[in-house]
Structure 1
Amino acid sequence: MPTVEKITIALTKEIADNVRSAVDAGDYASTSEVIREALRDWQLKRTSQQEQIEHLRRLWDAGLKSGSAGPLDMAEIKREARKAHVAR
């Protein structure tokens, strides 16, 4: 088991009440368990966001390396967009 480090956090009354309610309802054994689960979820979300950013960077780089798309005809772009919108 990893080493445990104790820290202190400040929560709004509403969040603290929700944490205690979850423990009182038997959903969690302790308030620490609630916070640990919330932090694990936060870590997963953060990791996912970082992976998405890296993916977008790779796509951006690939787009730049692919060269110019050539001249753009705005009238044609608008026609295609309207056609796609109507098809929905």
Structure 2
Amino acid sequence: MPMVTVSISPQQAAGIRAAVDNGGYASSSEVVREALRLWDSTRKLNEFRDDVLDDEGVPSGGRCVADMFADHEAERRRSA
């Protein structure tokens, strides 16, 4: 697995340590990987919203939101 060095605040480091110490995660790497998965999911959800909703939050292109979500999920599975 590639190694990446990042700088985080003391509060973030303490939060990671606490998550491991409390038994929620086995290692700090697991905490960071989970955070990155959540970030990636949020980013993709925002892209999805940008693709399917207009500025007022109304589905664009006259398509049903469920159909657009199904298309998005199918694309996600293809690229996974």
Which TM-score tier does this pair reach, normalised by the shorter chain? 0.5 to 0.7
Q: CA deviation at 1:19?
A: 0.3
How many residues were matched structurally?
58
- Of residues 39, 42, 45, the one that matches 2:39 is 42
Matches of 1:20 and 1:50, distance apart in 2: 32
Aligned twin of 1:29: 26
For structure 1, the 5+ residue unaligned runs are 64-88
Larger RCO, structures 1/2 (Cα 8 Å, 6+ apart): 2
Greater Cα radius of gyration, structure 1 or 2: 1
AA in 1 matched with 2:49: Q
Higher helix share: 1
TM normalised by structure 1 equals 0.61
- Please provide the CA RMSD for this pair: 1.6
1:56 corresponds in structure 2 to: 53
SS of alignment partner, residue 4 of structure 2: coil
Give the TM-score, by structure 2 length.
Answer: 0.67
- Counterpart CA distance in 2 for 1:53 and 1:46 is 11
Tell me by how many angstroms 1:56 deviates. 2.2
Which residue in 2 is equivalent to 1:6?
3
